[in-house]
Amino acid sequence: MDIKISEIAELINGVVIGDKNITINNLARIQDAKKGELTFLYLSSYEKFLKTTQASAIITSEKFISKRKDITILKVKDPDKAFVKVIEKYFTPEFKFSGIDKTAFVDDKSQLGKNVTIGKNVVISAGCKIGDNSKILHNTVILENVIIGNETLIYPNVSVRENSIIGNRVIIHSGTVVGSDGFGFNPDEKGVYHKVPQIGNVVIEDDVELGSNVSIDRAAIGSTIIKKGVKIDNLVQIAHNVTIGENTVIASQTGISGSTKIGNNCILAGQVGIVGHIEIDDNVIIMAKSGIPKSIIKPGKYFGYPAKELSTALRLEAHIRNLPNYSDKIKNLEKELEFLKKELFKKNS
């Protein structure tokens, strides 16, 4: 597929510097791009690849000045967002199959909307409701009384447990489990643990995306809630009765313990650990590998274990790195003090 640069410029509202008549047939990273391919540049750390890239065209910021006259430049306000538009328009793969595959099982007591696609070996149990234009791909299991909204895409090997509610335009990637039992056990007088029944459900609101191998536990009572616009990376654990606020982003290997409430517009970086029964305020950013042992009631950036406001955490980290120097200085000061004591004793003797 050959696409004219002038057509792409019109799509992303870009200004073309260079040859407006060239065409591109693929997208690539700037360090890998070859002739006929389009790339983008918005981080200064990638400018080092400008000397060697073979890309035919680059989407860049309005302020960018190129020294390569052999590459066509498309200047836009937000290069990363413009690049996404190009992907969505020209390079997003379309599913080739439609309808219900003959190997799928759909219970007669389920309700399917219009234009629903169901792939191989999908199981949809009794009482499920699936909205229009939803796509449920191969080997997915959906248990009883699940409600799925319109235009939802569920990739292969997903399990959705009973009574879950999934909103519109939700994307769930392979290996994810929605509604597994919460981690609830009580010890008896002999220290033997007994399972506490988990009788709640999971509610996933509109425009949520769940990465692969995400585990979202059903509530013990009530609901575990993932609110509108949340984006969750691979390998994230969300325990029972957790609430994730709107438009919050959670990166890989983060774990959130039971009954914790995360606010709106938060960012949780990779490998963050959060204890149970606390609250995180809106607009909080938690840096990678941080541990949160208590509620955060003030917006801002936090880092470390236990997590502190970023500026404080960085100062403490600097002091920790300087501990060997501090130790040497203290030893030298102790020697000088001992010497002065001796001199003072001689003088007063």
Q: Helix, strand or coil for residue 324?
A: helix
Q: What pLDDT was estimated at residue 339? A: 87
Dist. CA 303–CA 321, nearest whole Å:
16
Q: What pLDDT was estimated at residue 95? A: 66
- Find where tokens 């057509």 sit: 7
- pTM for the model: 0.86
Dist. CA 248–CA 242, nearest whole Å:
13
Q: What pLDDT was estimated at residue 44? A: 87
Buried b (16+ CB within 10 A) or exposed e, 24-54: beebbebeebeebbbbbbbeeeeeebbeebe
Q: Which residues are tagged catalytic?
A: 240
Tens digit of each residue's pLDDT (9 = 90 or more) over 39-66: 999 888 999 999 999 999 999 999 888 8
* 174, burial (CB in 10 Å: exposed 0-12, middle 13-18, buried 19+): middle
* Whole-number Cα distances in Å, 254 to 116, 213, 247, 291, 300: 33, 12, 17, 10, 19
Query: DSSP secondary structure string, 256-276?
Result: E-TT-EE-TT-EE-TT-EE-S
Q: What pLDDT was estimated at residue 96? A: 67
Q: What pLDDT was estimated at residue 97? A: 67
- Find where tokens 């936090």 sit: 302
Tell how far CA 250 is from the center of its chain. Answer: 4
Dist. CA 283–CA 44, nearest whole Å:
26
19 is written with which tokens?
């040859």
Give yes or no for a contact between 266 and 283, defined as CB atoms under 8 angstroms apart.
yes
* Whole-number Cα distances in Å, 41 to 27, 38, 243, 313: 13, 11, 36, 32
Starting at the edge strand found earlier in the chain, the sheet holding 15-17 runs: 15-17, 72-76, 57-61, 37-40, 26-27
Give yes or no for a contact between 134 and 117, defined as CB atoms under 8 angstroms apart.
yes
Dist. CA 185–CA 143, nearest whole Å:
24
Dist. CA 304–CA 310, nearest whole Å:
8
Residues lower than pLDDT 70 in the chain: 95-97
Which amino acid, 178? V
